[in-house]
């Protein structure tokens, strides 16, 4: 009885004094101070409103003429400024001049420029791709020019259709590690999956293997204690939380590290949709069956993802230009097909992930298969996918049957009718949630990685992926897509009429602020 009473009263106590509540309270205090200043100087309100009116006009003109800002973002900002004239304008100015974001951008740029020498493009491979397909060559040139991501011959590329099969392979590779293990992950949660991995990492540290772990700072709100990096360091594991949440108003909180990268000894690289949490291997049911996927590859292409990891590791270091050559490996193996591991950052105004998806849509000849967790896209992407369907290309899109974010799913539904009318086939995964991010065209080209079809992945998050051309494993990816289709319910114009009109209305209103979702 005493224990149950203690548990009853301890829950609200934990909530009241949690890190999230304290951070939220600090933010409210800052907003209250701003409101107090507004109240104290209200006698000057007429001049203030007049000045804000002029500022609104100037800022609106500035937004309209920004060539490097997505059109949908322009619309959302202008609506916000019109609805909340003083605060909308000031918030825009704050977002564009946030010191944390500016520092992050400058550090990333300096590191990228310094690191180009570590992954030079093999001219022979590039020339072979040019002879094989000029359009794929052009996209390879684009990725190399904007992000310095070379094209490689594919070596021992493996596709994992579910998190469980990837996890089993990962455990084997980690146990066999001899030199170093790098893990960069968006979500790191305590549970069976992480406990098993952590035990291996602790043993490897004792064997002299270097271990580094990066996880996104949002984990410190609810999943991990803020001191968790220090706890891992005591075990000999180097650890960082990227951009942790602190009780200060910063727009850089929007820029999350959504990447999922594991590097073992410079010999193996993993990426895809899986985080390190029990639901990703279906040890914990949250939204029905969790459908995800991952890939593993070897060869010189591993160096590109390894470099991405090291850039992120050092992004919060002021002047540390680490010598990455120690972690680089040279492989003489020949492969079949081509692959380009790439990263995408929100600080360079170049949406590499989005452009790679658009390239596949624009150059498809017969069919495009897509599986995603979300569909909240901008007008540019939506017009392209409609245009592709109108050219007679078969497009099949799989989305969750049990969504993890209801309001985001409401927005996705607002795109359905227009897509169905042009012949795009939409399927919803009946057993649960699809977290895989994969697009395949004509069974010979594909993109797989961490990039969702939404504004956050396109413009706000750090992402990574792999572009594939003529890699034999694409056939296995296509087979998995077809197998997943058999577990889906097709959405038609007829059965979509039964969808809630209230939810559709909510989705249409929220779609105005799609870039902010």
- pLDDT by residue (tens digit) across 394-414? 999 999 999 999 999 999 999
* Number of Cβ within a 10 Å radius of residue 110: 13
Q: Spell out the residues 6+ positions from residue 329 whose beta carbon is closer than 8 angstroms to its own.
A: 265, 266, 267, 300, 302, 303
| Mean pLDDT, residues 291-296 | 98
Contact between residue 188 and residue 223 where contact means Cβ atoms under 8 Å apart: yes
Contact between residue 53 and residue 86 where contact means Cβ atoms under 8 Å apart: no
Q: Which two tokens stand for residue 311?
A: 């850039």
Per-range mean pLDDT, top range of 105-109, 251-255, 351-355: 351-355
pLDDT given for residue 18 in this prediction: 46
* Number of Cβ within a 10 Å radius of residue 492: 12
Token pair 């991990």 is at which residue? 224
Q: Which two tokens stand for residue 513?
A: 């602020």
| Mean pLDDT, residues 20-35 | 61
Q: How far is 216 from 244, CA to CA, in rounded Å?
A: 7
β-pairing, 180-185 vs 445-449, is: unpaired
Contact between residue 514 and residue 455 where contact means Cβ atoms under 8 Å apart: yes
In percent, the amount of the chain with pLDDT more than 90 equals 64
Confidence of residue 2 (pLDDT cuts 50, 70, 90): very low
| pLDDT tens string 134-166 | 999 999 999 999 989 999 998 889 999 999 999
Q: How far is 458 from 345, CA to CA, in rounded Å?
A: 9
User: Taking each helix axis from N to C terminus, what angle separates 45-64 and 85-96, rounded to the nearest 10 degrees?
Assistant: 50
| Mean pLDDT, residues 31-37 | 67
Helix, strand, coil percentages, rounded to 5, for the chain: 50, 20, 30
Better pLDDT: 375 or 105: 375
For the chain, give the number of residues.
517
pLDDT given for residue 315 in this prediction: 85
| Mean pLDDT, residues 449-464 | 94
Q: What single-letter DSSP state applies at residue 267?
A: T
Helix H or strand E encompassing 269 = strand 268-272
Residue 22 pLDDT more than 80? no
Confidence of residue 107 (pLDDT cuts 50, 70, 90): confident
Helix H or strand E encompassing 129 = helix 123-132
Residue 10 pLDDT more than 90? no
| pLDDT tens string 332-374 | 777 789 999 999 998 788 999 999 999 999 999 999 999 999 9
């Amino acid at each position: 009885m005493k224990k149950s009473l203690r548990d009853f009263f301890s829950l609200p106590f934990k909530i009241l004094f949690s890190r999230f509540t304290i951070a939220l309270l600090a933010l409210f205090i800052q907003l209250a101070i701003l409101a107090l200043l507004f109240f104290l100087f209200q006698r000057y309100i007429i001049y203030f409103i007049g000045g804000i009116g002029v500022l609104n006009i100037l800022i609106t003109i500035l937004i309209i003429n920004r060539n490097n800002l997505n059109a949908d973002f322009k619309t959302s900002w202008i609506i916000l400024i019109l609805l909340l004239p003083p605060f909308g304008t000031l918030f825009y100015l704050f977002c564009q001049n946030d010191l944390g974001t500016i520092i992050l951008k400058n550090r990333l740029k300096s590191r990228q420029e310094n690191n180009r020498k570590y992954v030079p493009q093999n001219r022979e491979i590039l020339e072979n791709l040019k002879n094989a397909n000029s359009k794929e060559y052009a996209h390879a040139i684009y990725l190399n020019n904007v992000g310095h991501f070379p094209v490689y011959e594919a070596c021992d590329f493996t596709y994992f259709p579910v998190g469980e099969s990837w996890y089993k392979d990962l455990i084997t590779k980690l146990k066999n590690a001899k030199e170093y293990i790098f893990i960069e992950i968006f979500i790191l949660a305590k549970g069976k999956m992480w406990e098993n991995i952590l035990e291996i990492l602790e043993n490897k540290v004792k064997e002299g293997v270097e271990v580094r772990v990066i996880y996104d700072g949002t984990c410190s709100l609810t999943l991990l204690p803020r001191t968790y990096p220090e706890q891992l360091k005591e075990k000999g594991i180097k650890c960082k939380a990227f951009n942790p949440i602190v009780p200060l108003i910063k727009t850089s909180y929007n820029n999350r590290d959504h990447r999922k990268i594991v590097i073992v000894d410079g010999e193996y690289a993993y990426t895809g949709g899986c985080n390190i949490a029990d639901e990703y291997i279906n040890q914990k049911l949250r939204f029905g069956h969790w459908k995800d996927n991952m890939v593993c590859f070897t060869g010189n292409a591993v160096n590109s993802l390894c470099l991405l990891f090291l850039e992120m590791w050092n992004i919060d270091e002021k002047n540390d230009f680490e010598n990455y050559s120690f972690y680089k490996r040279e492989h003489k193996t020949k492969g079949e097909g081509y692959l380009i591991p790439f990263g995408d950052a929100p600080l360079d105004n170049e949406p590499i992930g989005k452009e790679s998806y658009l390239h596949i849509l624009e150059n498809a000849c017969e069919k495009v298969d897509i599986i995603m967790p979300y569909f909240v896209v901008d007008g540019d992407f939506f017009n392209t996918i409609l245009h592709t369907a109108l050219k007679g290309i078969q497009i099949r899109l799989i989305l969750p049957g049990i969504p993890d974010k209801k309001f985001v799913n409401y927005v996705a539904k607002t795109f359905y009718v227009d897509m169905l009318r042009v012949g795009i086939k939409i399927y919803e995964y009946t057993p649960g949630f699809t977290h895989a991010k994969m697009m395949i065209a004509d069974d010979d080209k594909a993109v797989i990685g961490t990039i969702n079809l939404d504004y956050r992945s396109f413009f706000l998050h750090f992402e990574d992926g792999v572009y594939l051309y003529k890699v034999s494993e694409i056939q296995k990816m296509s087979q998995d897509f077809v197998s997943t289709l058999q577990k889906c319910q097709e959405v038609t114009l007829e059965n979509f009429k039964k969808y809630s009109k209230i939810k559709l209305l909510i989705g249409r209103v929220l779609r105005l602020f799609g870039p902010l979702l």
